[in-house]
């Protein structure tokens, strides 16, 4: 009996070794995902907001026209502090939402019911941050209120007038070349697909104690030590030729920040400063780059705070007092 058991055991053991060997051979190594590349490819294949509609902005007049024509199709999200929203006033029907709750809130409404979802803040820069995030998530009817509540009614907010100036006028016309093409940022969300990585990145950014504070920077901080930064002039080449910050490198809007063009020339080991005319475009652009993993920041108020008169002399966009309306508000 013992010999018979031994005989069967000797027959079974080789089969177990074969089965185990086959199982080990069939195990495939876990796929390593380049999260930044996966994310950027997803964004470019799904609307490519950075290079198409960015920045999505509506003027106070356009919002007021919508309010008068069909208020039921207008939805206003006000991301100012709760105290200022209540005490200083807000657009009729506006809902006060803290930035960390932005995505949760937009999911709680049926966004498709509205022709225009407008995000309002003080000057249009924080709302640009919020708008960029929502646009990346596919909410294509979301817009930032141009110049924020400062343009709706000066009694509600007055962030712009004190931030017009000629504080840094030594612009140059030197043409500075783009950096060499390098690698993309490193992202570690642990997600596999572009959509999942995008959602995880936005959640990470909004979890900050001061989400927009993480991407804004003052002009004097930048000009105080220019060599610390990779400065992006986000204008046309023609406007860049008129003058710019020393060391600033020209990137053409809607063209140069793609995988197929010059996105990879942005450094991953240096703080990137995006500046434009007023800060409206740079706020949204820096936000998108931040989502991608770049250490990007928007220069607050743009050239309007640095070299305002020069902009007027050269026919460039300025903050105009005609932008300030005296539209009704709730207090």
Q: Are residues 221 and 271 in the same domain?
A: yes
User: Measured in whole angstroms, how far is the alpha carbon of residue 21 from the centre of its chain?
Assistant: 50
Mean pLDDT for the chain overall: 92
The residue with greater pLDDT, 85 or 8, is 85
Using pLDDT thresholds of 50, 70 and 90, give the confidence band for residue 316: very high
Contact (Cβ atoms closer than 8 angstroms) between residue 80 and residue 149? yes
Distance, CA of 180 to CA of 166 (rounded, Å): 33
Domain assignment present for 58: yes
Instruction: Judge whether 259 lies within some domain.
Output: yes
Residue 301 lies in a domain: yes
Q: In what order do the strands lie in the sheet with 271-275?
A: 216-217, 296-299, 271-275, 229-233, 249-250
Residues 107 and 151 in one domain: yes
The pLDDT of residue 1: 46
pLDDT digits (tens, 9 = 90+) for 203-244: 999 999 999 999 999 999 999 999 999 999 999 999 999 999
Look at the chain and report how many structural domains it folds into.
Answer: 2
* CATH number, residue 70: 3.40.250.10
pLDDT for the residue numbered 58: 98
pLDDT for the residue 28:
57
CA nearest to 297, candidates 278, 271, 267: 271
| Range of the structural domain that residue 262 is part of | 194-313
In sequence order, which residues have a C-beta less than 8 Å from that of residue 12 and are 6 or more positions away?
none
Could you report the per-residue pLDDT of 101-137, keeping only the tens digit for each? Answer: 999 999 999 999 999 999 999 999 999 999 999 999 9
Instruction: Quickly list DSSP for 21-60.
Output: HHHHHHPPPPPPP-HHHHHHHHHHHTT-GGGTT-S-EE-H
Beta strand 142-145 pairing with 57-58 = parallel
| Coil, strand or helix at 100 | helix
Give the whole-angstrom CA distance, residue 317 versus residue 282: 14
Q: Is residue 210 part of a domain?
A: yes
Angle of helix 280-292 versus helix 126-136 axis, rounded to 10: 50
As a whole number of angstroms, the distance between CA 153 and CA 88 comes to 10
Q: Is residue 274 part of a domain?
A: yes
Same domain, 205 and 128: no
Stretch 31-51: mean pLDDT: 94
Q: Is residue 6 part of a domain?
A: no
Grade residue 319 by pLDDT with cuts at 50, 70 and 90: confident
pLDDT reading at 18 higher than 80: no
Residue 30's pLDDT band, with cuts at 50, 70 and 90, is low
Domain check: are 203 and 262 in the same one? yes
Distance CA 63, CA 239 (A): 29
Of residues 6 and 86, more confidence is placed in: 86
When pLDDT is averaged across residues 160-188 and rounded to a whole number, the result is 96
Backbone angles phi, psi at 116, to 5 degrees: -145, 120
- Between 13-22, 173-182, 215-224, 291-300, the lowest mean confidence (pLDDT) is in 13-22
Rounded Cα distance between 270 and 278, Å, is 24
Query: Residue 257: what pLDDT?
Result: 98
Q: Is the pLDDT of residue 9 over 90?
A: no
Considering the domain architecture, whether residues 155 and 40 belong to the same structural domain is answered as yes
Q: Is the dihedral of CA 230, 234, 239, 244 positive or negative?
A: negative
Q: Is residue 242 part of a domain?
A: yes
CB 329 within 8 Å of CB 91: yes
* Confidence (pLDDT) at 27: 57
**Do both 58 and 121 map to the same domain?**
yes
């Amino acid at each position: 009996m013992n010999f018979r058991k031994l005989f069967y055991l000797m027959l079974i053991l080789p089969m177990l070794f074969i089965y185990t060997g086959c199982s080990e051979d069939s195990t495939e190594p876990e796929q390593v995902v380049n999260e930044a590349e996966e994310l950027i490819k997803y964004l470019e294949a799904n609307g490519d907001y950075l290079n198409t509609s960015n920045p999505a902005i509506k003027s106070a007049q356009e919002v007021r026209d919508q309010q008068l024509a069909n208020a039921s199709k207008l939805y206003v999200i006000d991301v100012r502090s709760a105290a200022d929203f209540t005490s200083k006033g807000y657009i009729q029907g506006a809902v006060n939402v803290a930035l960390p709750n932005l995505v949760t809130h937009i999911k709680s409404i049926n966004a498709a019911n509205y022709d225009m979802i407008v995000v309002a803040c003080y000057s249009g820069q924080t709302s640009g941050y919020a708008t960029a995030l929502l646009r990346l998530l596919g909410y294509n009817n979301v817009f930032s209120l141009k110049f924020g509540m400062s343009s709706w009614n000066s009694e509600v907010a007055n962030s712009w007038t004190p931030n017009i100036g000629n504080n840094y006028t030594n612009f140059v016309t030197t043409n500075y070349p783009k950096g060499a093409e390098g690698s993309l940022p490193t992202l570690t969300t642990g997600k596999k697909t572009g959509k999942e990585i995008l959602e995880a990145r936005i959640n990470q950014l909004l979890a900050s104690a001061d989400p927009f504070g993480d991407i804004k920077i003052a002009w004097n901080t930048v000009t105080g030590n220019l060599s610390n930064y990779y400065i992006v002039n986000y204008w046309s080449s023609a406007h860049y030729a008129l003058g710019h910050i020393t060391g600033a490198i020209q990137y053409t809007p809607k063209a140069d920040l793609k995988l197929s063009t010059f996105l990879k020339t942005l450094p991953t080991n240096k703080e990137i400063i995006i500046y434009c005319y007023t800060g409206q475009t740079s706020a949204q652009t820096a936000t998108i780059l931040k989502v991608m993993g770049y250490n990007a920041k928007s220069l607050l108020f743009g050239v309007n705070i640095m070299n305002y008169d020069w902009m007027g002399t050269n026919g460039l966009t300025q903050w105009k007092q005609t932008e300030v309306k005296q539209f009704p508000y709730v207090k």
